[in-house]
Amino acid sequence: MLDTLKIPERHYLNNGHGLASWLLTKDHKRIAIMYLISISVMFLLGGLFAMFIRLELATPQGDFVNADTYNKFFTLHGVIMVFFFLIPSIPAVLGNFLIPPMIGAKDLAFPRINLLSLYIYWLGGVFTLAAMVMGGVDTGWTFYTPYSATATNTHVIPTALGIFIAGFSSILTGLNFIVTIHRMRAPGMTWFRLPLFVWAHYATSLVQVLGTPVIAITIVMLFVENAFGFGIFDPARGGDPVLFQHLFWFYSHPAVYIMILPALGVISELISTFSKKMIFGYSFVAFSSLAIAVFGFIVWAHHMFVAGMSTYSAMVFSFLSFSVAIPSAVKVFNWTATLYKGAISFETPMLYAYGFMGLFLIGGLTGLFLATLGMDIHLHDTYFVVAHFHYIMVGGAIMGYLGGLHFWWPKMTGRMYSEFFSRIAAILVFVGFNLTFFPQFVVGYLGMPRRYHSYPDEMQVLNVMSSAGASVLGLGYALPVIYLLYSLKKGAVAGPNPFAASGLEWHTQSPPLTENFIEVPEVVSEPYEYEHAVAKESHLV
Amino acid sequence: MSNTVAHADPHAHPHAHAHHPALQHHFDTMSQQKEAAVIGMWVFLLTEILFFGGLFVAYMIYRVWYFDAFAEASRRLSLFWGGLNTAVLIGSSLTMALAVRAAQTNNRKWTVNWLVLTMLLGCVFLGVKVIEYEDKFANYEVPGANYNWVYHEQHAAAEGHAVEHRPLSQTPEQLQRTTQLYFSLYFTMTGLHALHMIIGVGLMLVITWMAWKGKFDAEYYTPVEMSGLYWHFVDIVWIFLFPLLYLVERHT
């Protein structure tokens, strides 16, 4: 069977050659590929800083770098990973590539704005990287005032401007998705026939569109304070630094959902495809995405329980933070129910999906610890918090991203990667991740604060475990770069639907045509219809 | 998945009838293209509301905390220039609406005329803003190292003008600090608003040129309508800014 498969003659990758055909393209798929390369570079850079952090923390003394340099390392790690990798990762790469073919459209609603968003992302990256080259910034990725406004003499302005600019890239991507999902669906593609990946991206886009402008204006206020000596957050003039924290977290908490919601969408696709079953409780999974997006906007102050707020509002925010667990648990339970009596297989994407479920569960449950008022006072700003959000952002978002990348790689490139090496990498990532971050729960609970470059001797064992795990994790991330690039030339031809998945994107050739489909498709059946048509090859392409 | 997809082409003969030249290839119809633009624009305006919203929140908190400082500082703004600018902007929204109407009715000449008039009114607004900012710089009312709350009164007294004294809950030293919050917000809010006006005028230059070239007709005038939505939004922001900044307790 595999011998007869051929890479199609015409596809989006060979429709035009040379640099200009890429830089001036309006094809969402080519833009997605350029995003993929850009965020991979950023991930490498952010990972490098993580490596420096773990190297420093391998010993209790501050012997690798001094405290100031260490401050810059964790700041740049956070800034690059959050704003230049995690936020764009799944939406700008997988969402950009897949939403149009998933809903049967030729392109996103605004192809030029899509390309613009990539250029804006690059411009933002240039500002932030320039700040890094000039000597970096040491405020932490949170830029808390008054330190960031009056005390630090590092490069807050260019870094913050980079984030401000990159924010518009995120807004434009979200805007494009919302309009595309509303207006570009193929005939018969009703809202409740949309893949859950698309529902998740719809919810994500709402957060991007409603949240990002608030961080933008917060940065503007920080900027005028730094650049012109205005005093909006200056306590010496009656300004309130805690207001900065409120405005910052009003975006930056929902930003967590920009990272995790698309990953939840990916996992829904993976679980259904690799258990060959209709997703359990489709509408519950779809609406839980929206519920998470809505709840995400009303829990921000749980980052500030010790910053000074009334007990009453702390209780309200604590309660609301607990309720985010409900839609999150709905998803996990529905995935588990989907697996039940399914024809489960263990291809690489599914390994990531399993890893995701376990890590997301731990990340979510430890979030409840932190949402508990009394507990949070003990755990605030310790490594427990660091471990918690890495379980969500790395264990959740990056596992989802890698799972999705492996799942749709054959669609994007037309080639299969090495199943053997990709499984090894998936296992390395899972093991390395847990070895890195689980000890941090313990060390944090014992009282090790975050953002210090030295610590008491008795905490060394756990920190060495963490640093060792980081090396394994790094290996797990490096391996895919090798075998995925190798697959571009030598990989077996994948064919239109190597995983026998049901989504519309699998009903076109791999790699797809520039217009995605030869003719406008008409959808005549429900999503995830596996029971009726198990693993039948599509005859349409 | 033999039954998942059927093939259907809504345009069985895509080239049998002439497409409108403005129809992009990934849309099926002009109305689909227009609806996409309209939703996109409204979503964009939503982001703008959230953008200005952060400033309004900061304004609200500090106004409640330092009401007297806000009331005093607000008196340093000119009601004449502020009122004039409000009238100018409302007028420009009218000319903008008339430009959209002219485009809708295939009236190229008046589309261009109304757009030019809108731009002129926009420039008048910006000019007045320059006069007002100039006055703030001259009176040391720009927050920062040179800020001097009492300069205004000292200057007036030196010129021989009567200085009005109202009973205040804050000392001049306190006002020297807290009124800076007001002027920080004043400059940030009106500055960002002015930036939006400049972008709007730039946008309209392009639209006017397109209208002049005859790119629009009754079937396709989306860019005119979208820049109109943007212009009205910027106008509405000012409708909130004017009372919040100029009219704090001006009735006493």
**Exposure string for A319-352, b = 16+ CB within 10 A, e = fewer:** ebbbebeebbebbbebbeebbeebeeeebbbbbb
Helix axes A348-371, A311-323, angle to 10 degrees: 160
Q: Are B61 and A240 in contact (CB under 8 A)?
A: yes
Residue B208 is predicted with a pLDDT of 97
Q: Give residue A192's pLDDT band: very low, low, confident or very high (50, 70, 90).
A: very high
Q: How far is it, in rounded angstroms, from Cα A466 to Cα A440? A: 7
Kindly report, residue by residue over A110-154, the tens digit of the pLDDT: 999 999 999 999 999 999 999 999 999 999 999 999 999 988 889
Q: Name the helix (H) or strand (E) containing A472.
A: helix A460-490
How many percent of chain A have pLDDT more than 70?
97
pTM score, whole prediction: 0.94
Q: How far is it, in rounded angstroms, from Cα A177 to Cα B40? A: 10
Q: How far is it, in rounded angstroms, from Cα A6 to Cα A493? A: 6
The conformation of residue A191, written as its DSSP 8-state character, comes to G
Q: How far is it, in rounded angstroms, from Cα B82 to Cα B240? A: 12
* Chain A residues whose beta carbon lies within 8 Å of the beta carbon of residue B26: 105-107, 109, 111, 184, 515
* Chain B residues whose beta carbon lies within 8 Å of the beta carbon of residue A523: 4-5
Q: Name the helix (H) or strand (E) containing B7.
A: strand B5-7
Answer whether B184 sits within 8 Å of A183, measured CB to CB: no
Q: Is the complex ipTM more than 0.95?
A: no
Amino acid at B152: H
Q: Are A266 and A204 in contact (CB under 8 A)?
A: no
Residue B5 is predicted with a pLDDT of 61
Q: How far is it, in rounded angstroms, from Cα A463 to Cα A452? A: 13
Structure tokens at A286: 């779809």
Residue A1 is predicted with a pLDDT of 46
Chain A interface includes B203 (CB < 8 A): no
Kindly report, residue by residue over A16-32, the tens digit of the pLDDT: 999 999 999 999 999 99
Task: Please name the residues in contact with A291: beta carbons below 8 A apart, sequence gap of 6 or more.
Answer: A326, A327
Residue A3 is predicted with a pLDDT of 56
Q: What string of DSSP letters covers A82-142?
A: IIIIIHHIIIIIIIHHHHHHHHT-SS-S-HHHHHHHHHHHHHHHHHHHHHHHHT---STTT
Kindly report, residue by residue over A29-54, the tens digit of the pLDDT: 999 999 999 999 999 999 999 999 99
Which has more pLDDT, B8 or A113?
A113
Answer whether A217 sits within 8 Å of B8, measured CB to CB: no
Dihedral class, residue A519 (left if φ above 0, else alpha if ψ from -120 to 50, else beta): beta
Structure tokens at A148: 């960031």
H-assigned helices in A80-110: 87-88, 96-103
Beta-carbon neighbour count of residue B173 at 10 Å? 10
Beta-strand pair A521-523/B5-7: antiparallel
Residue B152 predicted with pLDDT over 60: yes
Kindly report, residue by residue over A175-184, the tens digit of the pLDDT: 999 999 999 9
Residue A454 is predicted with a pLDDT of 94
What is the 3-state secondary structure of chain B? CCCCEEECCCCCCCCCCCCCCCCCCCCCCHHHHHHHHHHHHHHHHHHHHHHHHHHHHHHHHHHHHCHHHHHHHHCCCCHHHHHHHHHHHHHHHHHHHHHHHHHHCCCHHHHHHHHHHHHHHHHHHHHHHHHHHHHHHHCCCCCCCCCCCCHHHHHHHHCCCCCCCCCCCCCHHHHHHHHHHHHHHHHHHHHHHHHHHHHHHHHHHHHHHHHHCCCCECCECHHHHHHHHHHHHHHHHHHHHHHHHHCCCCCC
Place of tokens 């990762």: A89
Beta-carbon neighbour count of residue A223 at 10 Å? 18
* Phi, psi for A471 (deg, rounded to 5): -65, -45
Q: What is the largest CA-CA distance in chain A?
A: 75
Beta-carbon neighbour count of residue A396 at 10 Å? 27
Closest-CA distance, B252 to chain A, in angstroms, reads 26
A449: three-class secondary structure by DSSP: strand
Chain A interface includes B13 (CB < 8 A): no
Q: Are A189 and A525 in contact (CB under 8 A)?
A: no
Residue B2 is predicted with a pLDDT of 37
Answer whether A179 sits within 8 Å of B143, measured CB to CB: no
Structure tokens at A398: 């990056």
Q: How far is it, in rounded angstroms, from Cα A93 to Cα A35? A: 6
Q: Give residue B122's pLDDT band: very low, low, confident or very high (50, 70, 90).
A: very high
Chain A interface includes B44 (CB < 8 A): yes
Kindly report, residue by residue over A57-100, the tens digit of the pLDDT: 999 998 899 999 999 999 999 999 999 999 999 999 999 999 99
What is the 3-state secondary structure of A350-418? HHHHHHHHHHHHHHHHHHHHHHCHHHHHHHCCEHHHHHHHHHHHHHHHHHHHHHHHHHHHHHHHCECCC
Place of tokens 């014992």: A446
* Chain B residues whose beta carbon lies within 8 Å of the beta carbon of residue A31: none
Residue B96 predicted with pLDDT over 70: yes
Kindly report, residue by residue over A370-409, the tens digit of the pLDDT: 999 999 999 999 999 999 999 999 999 999 999 999 999 9
* Phi, psi for A214 (deg, rounded to 5): -70, -40
Q: How far is it, in rounded angstroms, from Cα B249 to Cα B240? A: 15
Residue B252 is predicted with a pLDDT of 73
Answer whether A183 sits within 8 Å of B35, measured CB to CB: yes
Answer whether A171 sits within 8 Å of B192, measured CB to CB: no
Residue A4 is predicted with a pLDDT of 73
Residue A205 predicted with pLDDT over 60: yes
Q: How far is it, in rounded angstroms, from Cα B14 to Cα A518? A: 13
How many percent of chain A have pLDDT more than 90?
93
Beta bridge partners of B7: A521
Place of tokens 């930036």: B195
Q: Give residue B251's pLDDT band: very low, low, confident or very high (50, 70, 90).
A: confident
Q: Are A496 and A507 in contact (CB under 8 A)?
A: yes
Q: How far is it, in rounded angstroms, from Cα A101 to Cα A523? A: 12
Q: Are A113 and A175 in contact (CB under 8 A)?
A: yes
Q: Are B95 and B114 in contact (CB under 8 A)?
A: yes
For residues B17-28, give the mean pLDDT.
84
Kindly report, residue by residue over B57-69, the tens digit of the pLDDT: 999 999 999 999 9
Answer whether B1 sits within 8 Å of A187, measured CB to CB: no
Q: How far is it, in rounded angstroms, from Cα A257 to Cα A295? A: 10
Q: Which of A182, A237, A522 sits opposite B6 (nearest CB)?
A: A522
Q: Are B4 and A533 in contact (CB under 8 A)?
A: yes
Kindly report, residue by residue over B198-246, the tens digit of the pLDDT: 999 999 999 999 999 999 999 999 999 999 999 999 999 999 999 999 9
Answer whether B40 sits within 8 Å of A214, measured CB to CB: no
Q: How far is it, in rounded angstroms, from Cα B110 to Cα B89? A: 20
Q: Name the helix (H) or strand (E) containing A19.
A: helix A19-23
Answer whether B2 sits within 8 Å of A539, measured CB to CB: yes
Place of tokens 């002219």: B102
Residue A298 predicted with pLDDT over 90: yes
Task: Please name the residues in contact with A165: beta carbons below 8 A apart, sequence gap of 6 or more.
Answer: A120, A123, A124, A127
Q: Name the helix (H) or strand (E) containing A223.
A: helix A196-228
A516: three-class secondary structure by DSSP: strand
Chain A interface includes B7 (CB < 8 A): yes
Q: How far is CA A30 from CA A14, A101, A260, A507, in A?
A: 11, 14, 24, 19
Residue B169 is predicted with a pLDDT of 81
Structure tokens at B162: 């009567």
Residue B4 is predicted with a pLDDT of 54
Kindly report, residue by residue over A493-537, the tens digit of the pLDDT: 999 999 999 999 999 999 999 999 998 899 988 899 886 444 444
**Exposure string for A485-519, b = 16+ CB within 10 A, e = fewer:** eebeeebbbbbbbbbbbbbbbbbbbbbbbbbbbee
Residue A339 Cα to chain centre, angstroms = 24
Closest listed residue to residue A404, CA positions, set A94, A29, A87:
A94
Provide the mean pLDDT of chain A.
94
Structure tokens at A400: 């989802």
Q: Name the helix (H) or strand (E) containing A432.
A: helix A419-445
Kindly report, residue by residue over A448-487, the tens digit of the pLDDT: 999 999 999 999 999 999 999 999 999 999 999 999 999 9
Q: Are A513 and A13 in contact (CB under 8 A)?
A: no
Q: How far is it, in rounded angstroms, from Cα B182 to Cα A292? A: 37
Q: Which of A109, A209, A504 sits opposite B5 (nearest CB)?
A: A504
Place of tokens 């992302």: A121
Residue B12 is predicted with a pLDDT of 45
Place of tokens 């379980």: A391
Q: What is the largest CA-CA distance in chain B?
A: 92
* Phi, psi for A272 (deg, rounded to 5): -65, -45
Residue B166 is predicted with a pLDDT of 76
Q: Which of B3, B25, B180 sits opposite A237 (nearest CB)?
A: B180
Beta bridge partners of A513: A516
**Exposure string for B217-233, b = 16+ CB within 10 A, e = fewer:** eeebbbbbbbbbbbbbb
H-assigned helices in A491-528: none
